[in-house]
Amino acid sequence: MLNGKTALVTGSTSGIGLGIALELAKQGANIILNGFGDHTGPKAEVEALGVKVGYSGADMSKPAEIAAMIAYADAEFGGVDILVNNAGIQYVAPIEEFPIEKWDSIIAINLSAAFHATRLVIPGMRAKNWGRVISIASAHGLVGSAQKVAYVAAKHGIVGMTKVVALETAQTGITVNAICPGWVHTPLVQKQIEDRAAAEKMTVEQATKELLQEKEPSLQFTTVEQLGGLAVFMCSPAADNIRGVAWAADGGWTAQ
Ligand code: NAD
């Protein structure tokens, strides 16, 4: 379905980004990976699906590096047809103890990076009159949780930005939407589970159960494959007129 298209997935050396990259590649999309840590393993995994795979090590907190990544995509892949704004980090503390540099880096990576990548790919998408911008927000783009001031502010910002860019492209073949996952069992969440287990002197299994019980009525994690499947749907013709939505995939978290 996506043969001949190129998808740039930010923060795709791990977790949700890699899961989405794999599902898009299964549909034939060429993939540009981005993120820190080892990228050779993830690159080989996507390449095994028979598509062309590139990699950019751009630090998403740095606008100049984001611009260089988009220039690389233009030069090597003929542009970005599908942009998945996924790179993100978390930090947990009450506002009066929240380090200023953590606020700045969460806003830069979880929000401003999506602004920069999106503004740079829209002209190419307009020229082709086709494009998909899918931003991975969160249930925290729709509701708050204590101790996550920067993350919740950034994710609400993503949902707002999604609506605006969807309106600005409403009469084109470009759609702009957000996906709002609940808990997904990735390294980002594993750290929160381990911190909770240590703080409350319980096992990791008990901490995992409590984490789900607190927010997610299904008591199940959403999987990266499910999120990849949702991204694939958003790239399909059935989603041609879905614009500006913040689509919850959260086991009922925000239905409460
Ligand atoms: P993860 O830690 O497994 O992956 C994060 C990715 O972002 C990695 O590839 C990492 O290298 C990359 N990254 C981090 N900082 C970067 C930077 N400055 N520049 C470039 N890449 C950078 O996390 P995840 O759980 O897969 O999260 C992915 C996205 O999904 C995030 O935006 C997160 O907020 C969102 N999300 C996660 C959950 C969850 O439960 N895991 C729920 C809702 C939303």
- 209 phi and psi, to 5 degrees? -65, -45
Are 104 and 121 within 8 A, CB to CB?
Answer: no
Are 147 and 214 within 8 A, CB to CB?
Answer: no
Mutate to test the pocket of ligand 1, among 32, 36, 102, 220 (most ligand atoms within 8 A of CB): 36
Left, alpha or beta for 252 (phi > 0: left; psi -120 to 50: alpha)? left
State whether the beta carbon of 136 lies less than 6 angstroms from ligand 1: yes
The pLDDT tens digits along the chain (256 residues) read 999 999 999 999 999 999 999 999 999 999 999 999 999 999 999 999 999 999 999 999 999 999 999 999 999 999 999 999 999 999 999 999 999 999 999 999 999 999 999 999 999 999 999 999 999 999 999 999 999 999 999 999 999 999 999 999 999 999 999 999 999 999 989 999 999 999 999 999 999 999 999 999 999 999 999 999 999 999 999 999 999 999 999 999 999 9
State whether the beta carbon of 143 lies less than 6 angstroms from ligand 1: no
- pLDDT at res. 188: 86
Q: Does domain 6-184+223-255 have CATH number 3.10.180.10?
A: no
- pLDDT at res. 142: 98
User: H-type helices in 38-112, by residue range?
Assistant: 40-47, 63-77, 100-107
* Cβ neighbours, 10 Å, residue 234: 23
Q: Give the separation between CA 74 and CA 55, rounded to whole angstroms.
A: 13
What would the two tokens of residue 194 be? 């381990």
- Candidates 165, 87, 89; CA nearest to 132 is 165
CA angle in degrees (0–180, nearest 5) for 197-228-247 = 80
- pLDDT at res. 178: 99
Tell me, in angstroms, the distance from the centre of ligand 1 to residue 185's CA: 11
Whether 91 is catalytic = no
Tell me, in angstroms, the distance from the centre of ligand 1 to residue 251's CA: 20
Are 33 and 21 within 8 A, CB to CB?
Answer: yes
Mutate to test the pocket of ligand 1, among 10, 13, 14, 31 (most ligand atoms within 8 A of CB): 14
- Enter the pTM of the model: 0.98
In terms of Cβ atoms closer than 10 Å to its own Cβ (0-12, 13-18, 19+), residue 68 is middle
What would the two tokens of residue 110 be? 């979880």
State whether the beta carbon of 45 lies less than 6 angstroms from ligand 1: no
